[in-house]
Amino acid sequence: MDITGSVALVTGSNRGIGRRFVTELLDRGAAKVYATARRPELVDVPGVEVLPLDITDSTSVAAAAARAGDVTLLVNNAGIATQGSLLTDDLTDARREMDTHYWGTLEVLRAFVPVIERNGGGGIVNVLSALSWFVYPGSGGYAAAKSAEWNLTNAVRLELAGRGVTVQGLHLGAADTDIMAGYEGSMVDPLDVAKASLDGVERDALEVVVDDWSAMVKASLAADPAALYQQFTA
């Protein structure tokens, strides 16, 4: 897929990785970029068409799809991140994670796949995580939702095979965004995430693994899980 001349829509584009997707799409010559957010007044990138979109609200998703009827590239980036115990904490946050990353992403896909197909085909990016493949203490709700979104990505890719729509799963570890405020480990630049993903879009890559941490976690899946999890249980 050629980014130049495409019409893209990015969810959760008011900050972080989503905002960097928007600016990089413009730099690569996208004909139009719909920058969407639950609070559209926070989108501050010039040269975009701003739309309100709450991916957990069916009415909001349908309205966005009706407004953005020329989309050929969809970037599912919107998300949340909570912490807590799956066994002892209230399950409200865990349900919010699944409602956002799984059901919300699926709702957007169901609304925009027909749009992309009507426009002659194109591409989809689902922003996933290294936590699609592992979990650390306290991240159970987020990791479970991202794992579900990962296999959702695989399932939708199979459904769209031969229909002119590529589906990319994008995996990364910690990125230097507001969500990771206070994290003291190494973090990838959100702009590098957007660049790696869009490079993948242009070569029809089904999966993009951005950083060494994500690559290590993926490789560990073929080994005894004790080797990975002993660092969390010691």
Question: What three-state secondary structure class fits 98?
Answer: helix
pLDDT at 188: 85
Give the H/E segment covering residue 123: strand 122-127
Report yes or no: 134 and 173 within 8 Å, Cβ to Cβ.
no
Question: Across all residues in the chain, what is the average pLDDT?
Answer: 95
The answer on pLDDT for 31 being more than 80 is yes
pLDDT at 231: 85
Question: What three-state secondary structure class fits 126?
Answer: strand
Confidence of residue 227 (pLDDT cuts 50, 70, 90): confident
Over residues 99-110, the mean pLDDT reads 98
Q: Tokens 């249980």 label which residue?
A: 233
Selected from 3.40.50.970, 3.40.50.720, 3.90.1200.10, 3.40.50.300, the CATH number assigned to the domain covering 7-233 reads: 3.40.50.720
User: What residues does each domain of the chain span?
Assistant: 7-233
Over residues 203-216, the mean pLDDT reads 95
Over residues 183-199, the mean pLDDT reads 87
Confidence of residue 174 (pLDDT cuts 50, 70, 90): confident
The upper half-sphere exposure of residue 153, i.e. CA atoms within 13 Å in the direction of its Cβ, equals 28
**pLDDT tens, position by position, 57-85:** 999 999 999 999 999 999 999 999 999 99
pTM of the model: 0.94
The answer on pLDDT for 16 being more than 70 is yes
Q: How far apart are CA 94 and CA 34, in angstroms?
A: 29
The answer on pLDDT for 189 being more than 70 is yes
pLDDT at 181: 63
Over residues 159-178, the mean pLDDT reads 90
Long-range pairs for 108-112 at CB < 8 Å and ≥24 separation? 108/11, 108/55, 108/61, 108/74, 108/76, 109/74, 109/76, 109/156, 111/61, 111/62, 111/64, 111/65, 112/9, 112/65, 112/68, 112/71, 112/74
